[in-house]
């Protein structure tokens, strides 16, 4: 039986390209541009794995993990994002995602992260931790993301907690995350 993968990403070109690459490797693939479209697909189809983007327009992909987990209890959920942080990775795993990858990620990395699509609880214990410490800029980015998550995305409350001007915080958040 062919494994089926659902790709939930609001970037239509990326979703189509990833779907094509995954289907060429022998998987059945469907795409959805947002949470509503993904949940609508689940009414008629079932999937072994889900590749979920963190930012779905104005929505957060984190909010979609629980409904996906309810409807697809054995599916492996991979959170894929261009805005990687430890805080969102931890939140995704706590909600039921089995893996978290920063963009850009290759199709091989995505499929490796999904592993055995039929096993929701499987993990790869052989993955080695990163030996190099994080840069100071990356530590700052991680701390900002943690405080932002604690304040449920409220920029004003986060800026107050960080004792930072709100515009300074917005400017830091508008930048891409710094490499480790």
The CATH superfamily label for domain 4-114 reads Response regulator (3.40.50.2300)
Relative orientation angle of helices 166-174 and 155-162, to the nearest 10 degrees = 110
Calculate what percentage of the chain has a pLDDT beyond 70: 84
CATH for 136-174 is 1.10.10.60
The sign of the dihedral angle between the CA atoms of 166, 168, 169, 170 is: positive
Neighbours of 93 (CB within 10 A): 16
pTM: 0.65
Tokens of 2: 């062919």
**Where do the structural domains in the chain lie, given as residue ranges?**
4-114, 136-174
Residue with tokens 């993955």, as numbered in its chain: 127
The sign of the dihedral angle between the CA atoms of 48, 87, 85, 59 is: positive
Tokens of 146: 């943690």
The 10s digit of each residue's pLDDT in 120-162 is 444 444 444 445 556 777 778 778 887 887 888 899 999 999 9
């Amino acid at each position: 039986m062919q494994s089926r993968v659902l790709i939930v990403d609001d970037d239509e070109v990326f979703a189509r390209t990833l779907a094509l690459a995954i289907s060429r490797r022998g998987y059945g693939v469907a795409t959805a541009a947002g949470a509503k479209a993904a949940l609508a697909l689940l009414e008629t189809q079932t999937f072994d794995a889900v590749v979920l983007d963190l930012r779905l327009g104005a929505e957060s992909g984190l909010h979609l993990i629980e409904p996906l987990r309810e409807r697809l209890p054995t599916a492996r959920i991979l959170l894929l994002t261009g805005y990687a942080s430890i805080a969102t990775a931890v939140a995704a795993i706590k909600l039921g995602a089995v893996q978290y990858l920063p963009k850009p990620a290759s199709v091989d990395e995505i499929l490796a992260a999904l592993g055995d699509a039929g096993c929701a609880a499987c993990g790869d214990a052989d993955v080695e931790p990163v030996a190099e410490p994080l840069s100071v800029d990356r530590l700052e980015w991680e701390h900002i993301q943690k405080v932002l998550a604690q304040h449920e995305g409220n920029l004003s409350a986060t800026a107050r907690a960080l004792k930072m001007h709100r515009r300074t915080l917005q400017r830091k958040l508008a930048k891409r995350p710094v490499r480790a």
